Amino acid sequence: MNTTPSSTLHLSTTAVSDRPRSDQDQPQADATKQFPAVGERALVLGGGGSTGNAWLIGVIAGLFDAGLDVTAADLIIGTSAGSTAAAQITSATPAKLLADILAVASQPRTGPAGSGGGPVRTRPAMNHMETTSAIIAAAEDPADMRRRMGAWALGTDAAANSSRQTQWRETVAARLPSRLWPKQRMLITAVDAHTGEPVVFDRHGGVDLVDAVAASCAGGFAYSIGGNRYIDGGYRSNAENADLAAGYRRVLVLSPFGGRSRTPADWGMQLATQVDHLRAGGSRVETIFPDSDSEHMFGANAMDLSLRPPAAQAGYNQGRALPEQLAEFWR
């Protein structure tokens, strides 16, 4: 069954405390250098803003209700909104998470962009997209793009960032059913704002789960952990970072953005390229994208809170319809 972007069926561990860290703390911030990637099943949860988070939860809940539990994956990779979803599904049931989304009416925005769901307020989403698109267009390559994104985020008002940091951490913490890392392996992506270097957090690195998720979702400002600053993990290697699943035999990718990329094709950051590399390395890979009826809820509309319930419902409907097609692959 081929479900890559070029031919899609719209299938398309020791816990650490939740204490804030001082600037003297220097947590380990590259989990990829600690442990070789090898295992049976990997679940990749891509970024996609508030509606993307809702859709991810919906798909996972639909699969679960139809008899396929993907939350038991040996590895879960979360990027931006997907990092929030990763932390949520490892500490609460999919049914509870879905019910919470469907029960909450649209709320005024109160936090920064790049979130994984819940109330947020920042510069208008379109202005954010225009600014970051201009940065991408001016960059020579992925490394240059990440450095430019970091410099832009670091260049925002320092006084505003100080209060935003506190508010953002509280917002992220309120979204997570547990503030402790799960025992199963989970990787959370980000980018070092000062150097532009890709970053991957896990439970062994000394970074609190709340901080890892907050960093992965930081759009428009640089989130501080210890003496370091981080920006959205979607700039590491597209919104999915599926390359981190190399070495796993079966890889299931959920991409709210449908595998699309804002970067030039010759940079090789597209999900399709990552999937090709995984398959070349011996992995079986399946992708799930929003169906054509729900695509309008993502991209420019990704931060529209009024679209969270319908995005979650659309994801749930897709998930309910997929287990027969995925059963042999996943089990």
Please, which residues have CB within 8 angstroms of residue 257's CB and are 6 or more apart in sequence? 46, 47, 48, 52, 239, 298, 299
**Mean of the per-residue pLDDT values of the chain:** 85
Contact indicator for 195, 147 with CB cutoff of 8 Å: yes
- Give residue 241's identity as a one-letter amino acid code: N
Per-residue pLDDT tens for 165-223? 999 999 999 999 999 999 999 999 999 999 999 999 999 999 999 999 999 999 889 99
* Contact in structure between 68 and 321 (CB atoms under 8 Å): no
Confidence of residue 316 (pLDDT cuts 50, 70, 90): very high
Q: What is the pLDDT of residue 5?
A: 36
* Rounded Cα distance, 59 and 183, in Å: 23
**Using an 8 Å Cβ cutoff, are 79 and 241 in contact?**
yes
Check residue 26 and give its pLDDT.
45
| Residue 157: predicted pLDDT | 62
Across the range 21-42, mean pLDDT stands at 60
Question: How many Cα atoms sit within 13 Å of 188 on the Cβ side?
Answer: 34
* Residue, of 62 and 39, whose pLDDT is higher: 62
- Band of residue 311 on the pLDDT scale cut at 50, 70, 90: very high
The pLDDT of residue 104 is 79
Which residue, 88, 153, 95, 90, is CA-closest to 117?
Answer: 88
